[in-house]
Chains A and B, each alone.
Chain A
């Protein structure tokens, strides 16, 4: 009796596929339902962000940062303006810092809501996705109130903000937080402790801490692997060191540390921490202060380079800016957290079933706009 060797089937998941969160192509080798190798193919959304930046002035870079991670535009702005302000050695006033932190943390909640909802959708739970979008909508309403835009804000400017907070923003935000806090427990009931959800995510796609570190995975994905690493604490920027908040890490509540369930739950806990930060920032926000106070008339940084990283909802977002003394960046490089998160997929998802691969992909919470840039 000879041994029958089956052929592996090559399957292209994407570029158009409901579970790829954008236009990503995963080329997988499958033996039946078992996936033996995953190769991500990128570039379907490449818009030459970095090359564009070499041809526009420093202010004009800002709208491009919006469009990189379109689900967390505020934090993309934030990272860039923090880097630029360090380069220009500008100090913004306390009110601006507070508003920025409020916006960034609201954006973190909004981004996590969409990420978690889409993860649920990948598992097959349709309803939590819509519940989360419903609540995200209220954050977008707050942003719309502030700067008129709902997705791409261009709100934070180098040395200030485009608008001051509108009348009634603080009250509306408090109202939203009071409404939203109990909703988190609802999501926890609906998904986190759902037997089927636990079965689908616990012990699946375990990312050990050393693998995460060696691939450069950051943000909630790294924290889910058990490492307390958050740039808001470890490499503090803006006024984050003033606030009291916890850094949730994965503890393997339902399985192993670093599994899909942990990656989900860490994000849930992070939303709670963000609420805490927003509350503190709103309470301590100075009433006075012109948001245009430190806007430079002309942006001509000294000949110098700078690398500044901030904590975006997806992890370490780094901007490397090389200045040649003109008003146009000589080189601008962005370190994308989602890119590194995606690179680990073959390591943690090979050998699992097809359904698991898509669950793992969902748990990494990638945004293709930021990966391809």
Chain B
């Protein structure tokens, strides 16, 4: 369901009534609105999941209730909506000494970074906003926009804690892009394409053909990618930029209300993006694990989302289990552990492919 597809569809029916420019605009806006709606709904679901999974891990009940009114709905299902409404209705505070323009810009920039990544995410054979021939590269590229936004937020708040958070985050995200990129290079080498759909099609034919089982080195590559993904999305154990007990709230210290909600939303949106990339690159994307059975466009949607959801669950699980790393240990792991392992993987997989595969 790419933009081209929509354009052709609309041209067929509407070319008599409105001009081709308007049709192009509509066919571009439609996926945009759909994506925005998807992110919002997904965020509500994943926030609820985070609350409930963390409650399960921490031996408490989490959001609970019996009905409407002051309760959070049945099983606390209304909790994320209540949270969202609370954030929306909160006072919007901009510190007097803050750099107003940058302060206001940062939440939008970080959200845009997360939002435009969704353009290249494949949900099934045909549902992809834009089937770019460099999809994977594009996602890696726009994913880095978050760094600029975080530095802006950290700097413009005019708060020492924010500054610490921003600086830590810049170092962290830029460093961890390298092992993430190295892991994805292996995927690209095997699939022979940067196109998301072609990477998925390469893994056709059931669970055995998934890239993660392609050769003995691939599970290592996957782990390296997943660790880097955790770091890129600022999740525990790499949540140093906003480490609650050290930096108060890091770069979001001075943000409140809707602006804070944008940071929050884009963190979860980024989680989704990295998990979709992991599912695409390693776990067969929207393909069924049982080759041809259970394989249809609708099931494709299901497989994609369930693979992504499982990875997000692992992220939540890790977050509520392990402590946080220190900033120098973070760099140590990146440059002295993940980077050599990533480079080794490239050579190992290349040699394996030439000799055996």
Chain A residues with CB under 8 Å of chain B are: 9, 11, 17-19, 33, 120-127, 130-131, 134, 190-191, 194, 196-197, 199-200, 353-356, 358
Complex-state Cα separation, A355 to B160, whole angstroms:
15
Q: Is the CB of A130 within 8 A of B245?
A: no
Q: List residues of chain A with CB within 8 A of the CB of B164.
A: 33, 354
**Of A9, A19, A134, which contacts B246 at CB under 8 A?**
A19
Q: Is the CB of B57 within 8 A of A124?
A: no
Q: How far is the CB of A211 from chain B (nearest CB, A)?
A: 23
A-B contact pairs, 10 of them (CB 8 A): A18-B248, A19-B246, A33-B164, A191-B323, A196-B322, A196-B325, A199-B325, A200-B323, A200-B326, A356-B326
Complex-state Cα separation, A33 to B59, whole angstroms:
35
- Closest 4 CB pairs between A and B? A124-B324, A125-B323, A130-B58, A123-B323
Q: Mark B240-255, 1 if CB is under 8 A from A, else 0.
A: 1001111010000000
Complex-state Cα separation, A358 to B57, whole angstroms:
25
Q: Is the CB of B323 within 8 A of A124?
A: yes
- For B59, the closest partner residue in chain A by CB is A134
Q: List residues of chain A with CB within 8 A of the CB of B248.
A: 17-18
For window 228-246 of B, CB contacts with A under 8 Å fall at 236-237, 239-240, 243-246
Complex-state Cα separation, A354 to B239, whole angstroms:
15
Give the dominant DSSP class at A's interface: helix
B10 at interface, CB cutoff 8 A: no
Complex-state Cα separation, A120 to B244, whole angstroms:
12
Q: Is the CB of B58 within 8 A of A199?
A: no
Instruction: Known A-B contacts: A17-B248, A194-B322. Give 5 more (CB < 8 A).
Output: A11-B160, A124-B244, A196-B324, A353-B326, A358-B245
Q: Is the CB of A126 within 8 A of B320?
A: yes
Given A17-B248, A355-B246, CB of A124 within 8 Å of CB of B58: no
Q: List residues of chain B with CB within 8 A of the CB of A121.
A: 245
- For B320, the closest partner residue in chain A by CB is A127
B12 at interface, CB cutoff 8 A: no
Q: Is the CB of A123 within 8 A of B160?
A: no
For window 316-350 of B, CB contacts with A under 8 Å fall at 320-329
Q: List residues of chain A with CB within 8 A of the CB of B246.
A: 19, 122, 354-355, 358
Q: List residues of chain A with CB within 8 A of the CB of B320.
A: 126-127
Q: Mark B252-274, 1 if CB is under 8 A from A, else 0.
A: 00000000000000000000000
B60 at interface, CB cutoff 8 A: yes
- For B168, the closest partner residue in chain A by CB is A33
Complex-state Cα separation, A121 to B322, whole angstroms:
11
Q: Is the CB of A124 within 8 A of B239?
A: yes
Complex-state Cα separation, A196 to B326, whole angstroms:
9
- For A199, the closest partner residue in chain B by CB is B329
- For A191, the closest partner residue in chain B by CB is B323
Interface size class on chain B is 20 to 34
Q: Is the CB of B160 within 8 A of A127?
A: no
Q: Is the CB of B327 within 8 A of A33?
A: yes
Q: Is the CB of B237 within 8 A of A124?
A: yes
- For B328, the closest partner residue in chain A by CB is A353
Q: List residues of chain A with CB within 8 A of the CB of B245.
A: 18-19, 121-124, 358
Q: List residues of chain A with CB within 8 A of the CB of B323.
A: 120, 123-125, 191, 194, 196-197, 200
Q: Is the CB of B322 within 8 A of A125?
A: yes
Complex-state Cα separation, A191 to B329, whole angstroms:
18
Q: Is the CB of B236 within 8 A of A124?
A: yes
Q: Mark B281-317, 1 if CB is under 8 A from A, else 0.
A: 0000000000000000000000000000000000000
For window 22-69 of B, CB contacts with A under 8 Å fall at 54, 57-60
Complex-state Cα separation, A198 to B60, whole angstroms:
27
- For A9, the closest partner residue in chain B by CB is B160
Given A17-B248, A18-B245, A124-B239, CB of A131 within 8 Å of CB of B59: yes
Q: List residues of chain B with CB within 8 A of the CB of A130.
A: 58-60
Complex-state Cα separation, A121 to B321, whole angstroms:
12
Q: How far is the CB of A236 from chain B (nearest CB, A)?
A: 38
Q: Is the CB of B58 within 8 A of A126?
A: yes
Complex-state Cα separation, A358 to B59, whole angstroms:
27
Q: List residues of chain A with CB within 8 A of the CB of B321.
A: 125, 127, 190
Q: How far is the CB of A235 from chain B (nearest CB, A)?
A: 36
Q: List residues of chain A with CB within 8 A of the CB of B160.
A: 9, 11
Q: How far is the CB of A337 from chain B (nearest CB, A)?
A: 23
Q: How far is the CB of A42 from chain B (nearest CB, A)?
A: 21
Q: Is the CB of A127 within 8 A of B328?
A: no
Q: Is the CB of B324 within 8 A of A123?
A: yes
Complex-state Cα separation, A197 to B327, whole angstroms:
14
Q: Mark B209-241, 1 if CB is under 8 A from A, else 0.
A: 000000000000000000000000000110110
Complex-state Cα separation, A85 to B324, whole angstroms:
48
Q: How far is the CB of A24 from chain B (nearest CB, A)?
A: 14
- For A129, the closest partner residue in chain B by CB is B58
Q: List residues of chain A with CB within 8 A of the CB of B325.
A: 196, 199-200
